[in-house]
Amino acid sequence: MTALLIKNPAQIVSPRPGSLRGPELKDLHVSSGNCIYITDGVIQTIAPFKELESRAQVDNAAVIDASGKAVVPGFVDCHTHLIFGGDRTDDFALRTAGASYEEIATNGGGIARTVTATRAASKAELKDLAHMRLNRALRQGTTTMEVKTGYGLNPETEMKMLEVIKELNDEHPVDLIPTFLGAHSVPSSMEKTDYIAQIKAMLPEAARIAKFCDVFCEQGYFNSAESFVILEAARKAGMLPRLHANQFHSVGCIEAAVDIEAVSVDHLEVLKLDEISRLADTDIACVMLPGVSLFLDIAFAPAREIINDGCIPVLASDFNPGSNMSLSLQLVMSLACMRMGVSVPEALACITQNAAYALRLDNVGCIETGWQADLVILDCADYREMAYFYGENHAYAVIKKGALV
């Protein structure tokens, strides 16, 4: 048995379990005067030191002195494009000189540029790149991450990406949840109808590894009817549906998501009020990606309306080479607080418990007895400082399945 005692933290801060809406989001459990006792990767007891001391001695537990530091759940990044070859520094330079994301995409840059580089990269190269990125994410407190394909756009490279995710999941402490995003874009060499047929043919193979299937539902990519057809076939193949929706245009993707009973809709920068009400009547997670709004200088998702109307709000990074080259969920939290009207407790719930819900995980995202011990020990006594003192990494130590990583 392995045992770990996190001794005398200034605060232990956790959202309640479940898919949190409205006032539940800010109803965090904040305790001081307690320690966290972990055995075999699971939280056993949260109690004062004097109640745990003798047991920790008997178990020969490792001890981390957390005095003056707050402890929060490990962060769950439920939307990333972690695996890709090459980079888009040139696109970034064009954009900072005034070109838009859509202009760059129509002129040979954008997703197509990354597809070419990802097809050319070997599996080992992709894995090395992703491994380094994962180390960065872990150092900043991310202990679980969803990872999408979508830079292959052919059966061979899409499967290569899924295999990289699977192998990395076995080798790296961060838990990875694979998503098949064959419908990220249409490869330049193919007609869209032919490519959709090819995506459908890929589904059974993809479903051997992927838990979710995603579609970029957007003008110029896949419309709502095409998205529905792909996701319906994906569900039959054994994957749960989710969508990139309402990033640049509102083109019926929310309706498609409701019809298909999607697990989540992600982006939502141009979400309309009636679409928010529609989502509030469902169990669909509303994943907002403020890093994209910062990076592309586009609108922020209407977080306040999403929360006030009773939707299930979530925050994620959308780490990818074209629209957000940042892995920091601490920065996401700060942006949500500073630019979207989200309070600090709400933002914490959105990157932990509600993000776990968006990935259909029920053992991470909270600090409770019986839950997996994925924790971040912050370098500050008040957890709110990590949003306030922004652009810094406040992770003093990261615990994954009860081990210091």
Pair 137, 146: CB distance under 8 Å: no
Near ligand NIG by CB under 6 A, which window of 20-28, 34-42, 156-164, 316-324?
A: 316-324
Contact criterion met (CB below 8 Å) for 402 and 2 = yes
216 touching ligand NIG, by CB under 6 A: yes
Note whether 244 binds ligand NIG by CB under 6 A: yes
Q: Is 318 in the site for Fe ion (CB under 5 A)?
A: yes
Question: Measured in whole angstroms, how far is the alpha carbon of residue 344 from the centre of its chain?
Answer: 18
d(CA 403, CA 405): 6
Cα 210 from Cα 148, distance rounded (Å):
9
Per the structure block, which two tokens stand in for 284? 């669909």
* Nearer residue to ligand NIG within complex by CB, 322 or 402: 322
User: What are the C-alpha distances in Å from 164 to residues 40, 64, 266?
Assistant: 28, 34, 24
* Among 291, 321, 365, 402, interactor with ligand NIG by CB under 6 A: 321
C-beta of 85 vs 321, nearer to ligand NIG: 321
- Choose the stretch contacting ligand NIG; rule: CB under 6 A; options: 26-34, 60-68, 109-117, 252-260: 109-117
Residue 151, C-beta contacts closer than 8 angstroms, at least 6 positions apart: 81, 83, 84, 85, 111, 114, 115, 117, 118, 157, 161, 184
In the bound state with ligand NIG, the residue whose beta carbon lies nearer, of 91 and 346, is 91
Q: Which of 254, 256, 278, 274 is nearest to 266 (CA)?
A: 254
Element (H, E) at 243: strand 240-245
Nearer to Fe ion among residue 215 and residue 342 (C-beta): 215
For residue 264, state whether it binds ligand NIG (rule: CB under 6 A): no
**By the rule CB under 6 A, 114 interacts with ligand NIG:** yes
Nearest Cα neighbor of 25 from 290, 244, 312, 390 is 312
Smallest gap from Cβ 318 to Fe ion, in A, equals: 4
Distance CA 205, CA 229 (A): 18
Window contacting ligand NIG (CB under 6 A); options: 32-40, 55-63, 107-115, 301-309 = 107-115
Give the range of 17-25, 110-118, 203-211, 336-344 binding ligand NIG by CB under 6 A. 110-118
The letter for the amino acid at 36 is I
* Minimum CB distance to ligand NIG smaller for 146 or for 175: 146
Neighbours of 253 (CB within 10 A): 29
Q: Which is nearer to ligand NIG, 126 or 344 (CB)?
A: 126
Pick the binder of ligand NIG from 74, 322, 345, 402 (CB under 6 A): 322
User: What SS3 state is found at 133?
Assistant: helix
Q: Which is nearer to ligand NIG, 73 or 182 (CB)?
A: 182
Cβ-proximal residue to ligand NIG, closest one: 322
3-state secondary structure of 192: helix
Please say which residue, 195 or 221, places its beta carbon nearer to Fe ion.
Answer: 221
Q: How far is the CB of 111 from ligand NIG (least distance, A)?
A: 5
Q: How far apart are CA 340 and CA 66, in angstroms?
A: 32
Binding residues for ligand NIG, rule CB under 6 A, total 13
Tell whether residue 214 is a contact of Fe ion (CB under 5 A): no
Quick one: which of 112, 174, 251, 292 contacts ligand NIG (CB under 6 A)? 292
Residue 275 binds to Fe ion (criterion: CB under 5 A): no
Contacting positions for Fe ion (CB under 5 A): 318
Contacting positions for ligand NIG (CB under 6 A): 81, 110-111, 114, 216, 244, 247, 292, 318, 320-323
